[in-house]
Amino acid sequence: MDLQLTNKVAFVTGASKGIGRASAEQLAAEGADVVITARTADALEVTAKEIAAKTGRQIVPMAGDMSVAEDVERCVAATIEQFGHIDVLVTCAGSSPGGLLEELTEEQWLASMNLKFLGYVRSVRAVIGHMRERGAGSIVLVVGNDGLKPSYWEMTAGAANAADLNFASSAAEQYGRHGIRINTVNPGPVNTDRWDGLEKAFARDKKVDQARAHELAVNSIPFGRICESDEVASLVTFLASPKASFLNGAHIPVDGGQRKALMDI
């Protein structure tokens, strides 16, 4: 299937590795030029070179912190300056600490909301006026299935993700009439550095070793394995494309039918 992404311009946050990187790579493989952001400039440049070499598309690294409004606005403005327009926004720059209510600190709650919720709001806010003026755009927020399936050890992520889903629903309703589609993708455990860190923290708090923490995750998913970044990126790329023309305000789990409560020991 031709996803009709040739010569489109995509802006992907949190894309030096993990789901963001896989999404940038698949968008480029479908013919899009892609601006990728993350905080660490060196890693971002390496990733950009690797994706460009594989796909032959322009991949532009733009270092910035998506928890800082000025950085988000600067990167979006520089993208429009360089390419003239942005067709697709994908947000992946997110991180929320796992942990138990009585141990989570004020700072951890604020950090989770500041990046995973407000970082996504800032990114959408930075592109939306431009997309409205053009009467076209596709926005995909990579959120997380704990916004749909609460779990007590993941409550900072769950709360930020639930806020993202509500925000995306409202924005989809408001901007659909302007030709902008806004959808969310909601993974369960995905094999990335972030998941590895969460597993270690889960093991610490639940007083089991990491192998047991991994086993609990795997056992909660009917397929008996966790997800790979590419499997999330395929859905992101489809949703970003004109082929998903009637999808708006949708919140799609990509979690293999995970039964979340099975992780709650």
Ligand X SMILES: NC(=O)c1ccc[n+]([C@@H]2O[C@H](COP(=O)([O-])OP(=O)(O)OC[C@H]3O[C@@H](n4cnc5c(N)ncnc54)[C@H](OP(=O)(O)O)[C@@H]3O)[C@@H](O)[C@H]2O)c1
> Shortest distance, CB of residue 254 to ligand X, whole angstroms?
9
> Is 61 near ligand X (CB under 6 A)?
no
Tokens describing residue 156: 């900072």
Q: What 3-state class would DSSP assign to 190?
A: strand
Rounded distance between C-alpha atoms, residue 228 and residue 177, angstroms: 35
Among 67, 123, 138, 151, interactor with ligand X by CB under 6 A: 67
> Shortest distance, CB of residue 134 to ligand X, whole angstroms?
25
Q: Which stretch binds ligand X (CB under 6 A): 1-9, 27-35, 59-67, 76-84?
A: 59-67
Nearer to ligand X (CB atom), residue 66 or residue 168: 66
> Is 11 near ligand X (CB under 6 A)?
no
Provide the H-helix boundaries in the chain.
18-29, 41-55, 69-83, 106-112, 118-134, 155-175, 193-206, 210-219, 229-240
> Is 46 near ligand X (CB under 6 A)?
no
Residues 237-256 that bind ligand X (CB under 6 A): none
Give every CB contact of residue 16 below 8 A, 6+ residues apart in sequence: 36, 38, 40, 43, 44, 46, 47
Nearer to ligand X (CB atom), residue 123 or residue 138: 123
* 4: nearest Cα among 241, 248, 246, 180: 241
CB 117 within 8 A of CB 109: no
> Is 74 near ligand X (CB under 6 A)?
no
Rounded distance between C-alpha atoms, residue 142 and residue 115, angstroms: 13
> Is 85 near ligand X (CB under 6 A)?
no
Residue 219 CA, distance from chain mean position: 24
> Shortest distance, CB of residue 253 to ligand X, whole angstroms?
10
> Is 17 near ligand X (CB under 6 A)?
yes
> Is 175 near ligand X (CB under 6 A)?
no
> Is 144 near ligand X (CB under 6 A)?
yes
> Is 142 near ligand X (CB under 6 A)?
yes
* 176: nearest Cα among 249, 251, 91, 240: 249
Nearer to ligand X (CB atom), residue 52 or residue 136: 52
Among 149, 194, 214, 260, interactor with ligand X by CB under 6 A: 194
Residue 123 CA, distance from chain mean position: 11
Nearer to ligand X (CB atom), residue 33 or residue 71: 71
Sites of contact with ligand X (CB under 6 A): 13-20, 37-40, 43, 65-67, 92-95, 115-116, 142, 144, 187, 189-190, 192-195
